[in-house]
Amino acid sequence: MRALVVEELAADYAGCALKDVPTPEPGPGEVRVRVRAAAVNFPDLLQTRGEYQHKPPLPFIPGMEVAGEVEALGEGVTRFKVGDAVVGGARVGGFSEFAVSPAMALREKPEQLSFSQAAGYGTAYLTAYVALVRRARLEPGEWVLVHGAAGGVGLAAVDLAKVLGARVIAASASDAKLAVIQSEYDVDATVNVTGGFRDKVKEITGGHGADVIYDPVGGDVFDESTRCIAFDGRLLSIGFTSGRLPTLPVNIALIKGFSVMGVRAGEYGRRFPEKGRENTQAIWELAREGRVKPRVWREFPLADWRSAFDSLADRQVVGKTIIRPDLP
């Protein structure tokens, strides 16, 4: 089969190569999936440089989220049959024509979602759900400021916050991206963060500030967010795509009476297994009910994996970037 293989850890994907490798055989409790779509996430890019917390041994095939069809069953697997449309994740293996995953890591693909939508859905919407529901305990009518609103986890938060009845401010450095979000997700306001945003947020909220701030960016965005958060607000730290880890003088949190909350959706589920199952069930139920709108920005063939990676690194996307091994 054809697969993208990381042979050494290096900058600018220098250690990555598209190769012919043996098609994997599923072991006991595993399923081999014919990959129809695989989502590209920032952790996939970080793994090629050895900068992500999970460091698989070399060589490895990256790609953590896939959707496709069951092609072979390992011993003891009874919950699927060959030909079933499934979606799920593994820590590695998605950027290939076939991927092996534990059967327990897969679920039936909702009919309402295409393979590409389904591949990019789980991680982004689970992160948004844990952040907004479990950590922030978002209430209907509250103001939510979503930074990085055009990215995968940001757009999921925009979508989910609207479903939850919040008033949403989408924030980005691109007017073009904000126009797409406004037209497709009917947000209450948009803010271009170029040149500062705290006064704009205060104006939009009538001086109240944002009750919840969803921040996958970090750096200067985090710093300025502390200046436009409401009293008793919740500032959600999702990640640091800006590259700088911010620090907070605690007197600001004390005086303004807000909380900073770290969000690790996967770890939340590991620490609280029952709640983790509830979280996963909740997001996929929303998908089955057609209440959410996961957006695919662009699909790339496996041979054009570098362009797919660059689209994330260069922040071109509005939604999810998908690799399609079945595309020529």
In three-state secondary structure terms, 172 is strand
Question: Is residue 108 located within the same domain as residue 128?
Answer: no
Question: Is residue 170 located within the same domain as residue 253?
Answer: yes
User: How would you class 186 by CB atoms within 10 Å of its CB: exposed for 0-12, middle for 13-18, buried for 19 or more?
Assistant: exposed
Q: In whole angstroms, what is the distance from residue 30 CA to residue 53 CA? A: 24
Q: How confident is the model at residue 91 (pLDDT cuts 50, 70, 90)?
A: low
In a domain, 272, yes or no: no
In a domain, 276, yes or no: no
Whole domain around residue 88: which residue ranges? Answer: 2-121+295-324
Question: What is the secondary structure of 80-95 as a DSSP string?
Answer: --TT-EEEEE-SS--S
In a domain, 273, yes or no: no
pLDDT per residue over 214-246, tens digit each? Answer: 999 999 999 999 999 999 999 999 988 888 999
Question: Is residue 116 located within the same domain as residue 190?
Answer: no
Question: Is residue 62 located within the same domain as residue 180?
Answer: no
CB 4 within 8 A of CB 18: yes
pLDDT per residue over 276-307, tens digit each? Answer: 999 999 999 999 999 999 999 999 999 999 99
Average pLDDT on 104-132 reads 96
Q: In whole angstroms, what is the distance from residue 70 CA to residue 93 CA? A: 15
How is the beta sheet containing 210-215 ordered, strand by strand?
189-192, 167-172, 143-146, 210-215, 229-237, 259-262
User: How would you class 128 by CB atoms within 10 Å of its CB: exposed for 0-12, middle for 13-18, buried for 19 or more?
Assistant: buried
Question: Is residue 58 located within the same domain as residue 133?
Answer: no
In a domain, 136, yes or no: yes
In a domain, 253, yes or no: yes
pLDDT per residue over 125-163, tens digit each? Answer: 999 999 999 999 999 999 999 999 999 999 999 999 999
Q: Token digits for 300?
A: 């790339």
The CATH number linked to 307 is 3.90.180.10
